Chains A and B, each alone.
Chain A
């Protein structure tokens, strides 16, 4: 509470602000700045891939390894999860708890589908002998795509946590703020994925 109460010597009550007014949405601005720093992590990993991505060490290249239909399905899953999260936010604004939970659950399922396809792809690559230790290209590929996958994993854990909280406490002010933060995180991951599928997969298949 920013208001302090003092009694002056004349005995009258005065109020003054002991600190600056707490900025509205401070959490969201802070979270945005976190996302920007996360963006820098991905920028460095993209730079790493851009430098190393053509050093195959006489091993397989992207054109040999990448399966574009799987990537297309993955992209579609992530895009669908983005719009279903949008619907969850709209339901949350309308204070509809069951609808919010259903949309969040659908978002989580799309996220899980994305993750399992990605894990299947990684497993397939490693099984073919194209693991991260095969060449500089594959090392940088696994680090970049794996970091994105880790983000999605933590996003799903966060999503389940919020679903439990919404189910228990309803949609108060602070719950909407938390949903808003995850919304930014989730859409941000989709933005990063645009870079991954365009720069890594599509350009990797072109020789």
Chain B
């Protein structure tokens, strides 16, 4: 009986031990520094583009700003949040991909529907205006 309880205790130790080395989702100093430097560069460029009126048209600036934002989000995901396809056996990546799909549907759907509503909305007639309280 005592041997059995000793075994159980040992199993418990192994269990805890497994938790101590969880996942390997920790960054190194190098990761954080690389991520930080990239993030600073990717933040400075869009502010410079907008504040210095560097590009000829506003549309080009807008596209550049959004493009750099997407790259910076990826940098944060990789170097600060330590995302990779292996962590948690791929479940974090799966949740992320699912979220991205829902986010894209939400954003593009809202803009599409609301833009359609906007263009189909008629300007109010003088007759209608009198009815408005």
Query: What residues of chain A have their CB less than 8 Å away from a CB belonging to chain B?
Result: 1, 3, 5, 13, 15, 22, 24-25, 28-29, 32-33, 36, 39-40, 43-44, 46-48, 50-51, 68, 72, 75-76, 79, 82-83, 86-87, 89-90, 93, 173, 177, 180, 184, 187-188, 190-191, 194-195, 197-199, 202-203, 205-207
Most chain B Cβ neighbours within 10 Å, of A44, A75, A194, A203: A194
Question: Which residue in chain B gives the minimum CB-CB distance to A4?
Answer: B8
In the bound complex, residues from chain A placing their C-beta under 8 Å from that of B102 are: 40, 43
A36-B106 Cα distance, complex, nearest whole Å? 14
Q: Which residue of the partner chain, among A5, A46, A79, contacts B43 with CB atoms under 8 Å?
A: A79
B123 at the binding interface (Cβ < 8 Å)? no
Question: Which residue in chain A gives the minimum CB-CB distance to B71?
Answer: A194
Residue pair A83, B36 in contact (C-beta under 8 Å)? yes
In the bound complex, residues from chain B placing their C-beta under 8 Å from that of A195 are: 69, 73
Residue pair A51, B110 in contact (C-beta under 8 Å)? yes
B102 to chain A, nearest CB (A): 6
Residue pair A40, B103 in contact (C-beta under 8 Å)? yes
A190-B96 Cα distance, complex, nearest whole Å? 17
In the bound complex, residues from chain A placing their C-beta under 8 Å from that of B4 are: 5, 13, 15
A206-B62 Cα distance, complex, nearest whole Å? 8
